[in-house]
Amino acid sequence: MWLFFFVYLIGFNINYSQVKEITLIDSDEKDIIRDVKILTKNDSVFATSNELGHIYLDLEFLKENKYFEIKTSHFLYNSITININTLTDTIYLDRKPYFLDEVVVTAPKKEKQFYKISAYFRSWRLSNSKLQNYVEGLKEVVIPYDSSKSTREYFTAYISFKDSLFNKNFIDISIGGDGYLFTKIYREDYYTRFKNNYELIKKSAYNFDLKEDNSIVGNVKFDIDNQICEIIKKDVADGVKIFGKSLSYKNYVYEKWNNLGKRHLQMSRNTIKKEVKSKNKIITVETVTEIYVFNVDYQHVEKPKKYKNIINPDKSFYNSLFYEEYRKKYPLQPEIEVQLNNLKFNENSY
């Protein structure tokens, strides 16, 4: 019996040794990176880094299935491809170059009462990692200098896709909001809008933790002029019991701000992920919305000739293949792009 137990332990250790723990690190700031997806063939998601920036890769499984190379995917970082035989304990990733000079700025005229922001956006919904809905488009936002007046938003083009079996496959968890197609562009950053709910804890000259009650829920970065340039915020609720089921709710907000000229949003990403666990299954619904501002105009602030006030998610609205240009400029995560081929392109109503 002891011999059997000893042999069992040896076998266990051999198997366990094939699971490699790897930490994902920002190459510049040396911070850990969560939510980095590890992709294999056909851009399938194999693993995702956790809150500590760790991933666990079963090397034996990868080799048996002839996955000799893996690829990283994260909306803020450049993807890299790595041979599994050269994996180390740490993977360093470089940030994507979302430079401030990518935004075209037209000089202001004092007599103008408004300025205009042009943006590219996209939003999608996943159910158990399967893409169900996807919309991407262009919008113009006319913003009064008088902050007491409302902004006006015009959707000038968009395309939409839907799972051809959407009505059959659709899953919704109607708790905590959804966020799908919420593309509003605000005058102020997230922290400024909700600063009464948070406390800033200084980490370094320009870097602060975002504290809510007794928990660190994010990070705020300032530029040399003491203006906020980047915000990360997360809300997490785990283990909430509802009708005998366990609910997990996560909301991640990322914003990057351009502080040149009239301060404005440069890029944002909002992710809402909900998971319900019961005895027999796990249901996960995730929505992601990204916004990229590519132009700020202080002179030509006319209302567009043709537009929609709201998006009809069951229709498309466009007169050119605008998305080809903007997907090149702002690459879509490969694990999402590869699934677009499985969705139905909605009819054009332009």
- Classified by CATH at the fold level, domain 2-93 comes out as Immunoglobulin-like (2.60.40)
Mean of the per-residue pLDDT values of the chain: 84
**Is residue 5 over pLDDT 50?**
no
SS3 state at 223: coil
The string of DSSP codes covering 119-145 is EEEEEEEEETTEEEEEEEEEEEEEEES
**How far is Cα 121 from Cα 88, in angstroms, rounded to an integer?**
36
H or E element in which residue 325 lies? helix 322-329
* Confidence band, pLDDT 50/70/90 cuts, at residue 111: low
Per-residue pLDDT tens for 244-278? 677 888 899 999 999 987 899 999 999 999 888 77
CB 236 within 8 A of CB 228: no
pLDDT-wise least confident of 5-9, 32-36, 156-160, 198-202: 5-9
Q: Are 143 and 114 in contact (CB under 8 A)?
A: yes
| Spans of all domains in the chain | 2-93, 100-345
Confidence class for position 14, pLDDT limits 50, 70, 90? very low
- CA 159 from centre of chain: 19
Q: In the predicted model, is pLDDT for residue 193 greater than 90? A: yes
User: Which is higher by pLDDT, 264 or 243?
Assistant: 264
The stretch 330-338 carries a mean pLDDT of: 91
Burial class (CB in 10 A: 0-12, 13-18, 19+), 224: exposed
Amino acid type, 348: N
Q: Residue 61: its pLDDT value, please? A: 84
* Least confident interval from 41-55, 138-152, 265-279: 41-55
Q: With left for phi above 0 and alpha for psi between -120 and 50, is residue 71 left, alpha or beta?
A: beta
- Between 42 and 80, where is the model more confident? 80
Judged on CB neighbours under 10 Å (0-12, 13-18, 19+), 272 is buried
Q: Under a CB-based contact definition with an 8 Å cutoff, are residues 153 and 184 in contact?
A: yes
Least confident of 76-85, 108-117, 216-225, 314-323: 108-117
pLDDT at 105: 55
pTM value is: 0.78
Does residue 101 have a pLDDT over 50?
Answer: no
Given a contact cutoff of 8 angstroms between Cβ atoms, the answer to whether 117 and 293 are in contact is yes
Separation between Cα atoms, residue 148 and residue 201, nearest integer Å: 31
Distance in angstroms (rounded) separating the CA atoms of residues 297 and 300: 6
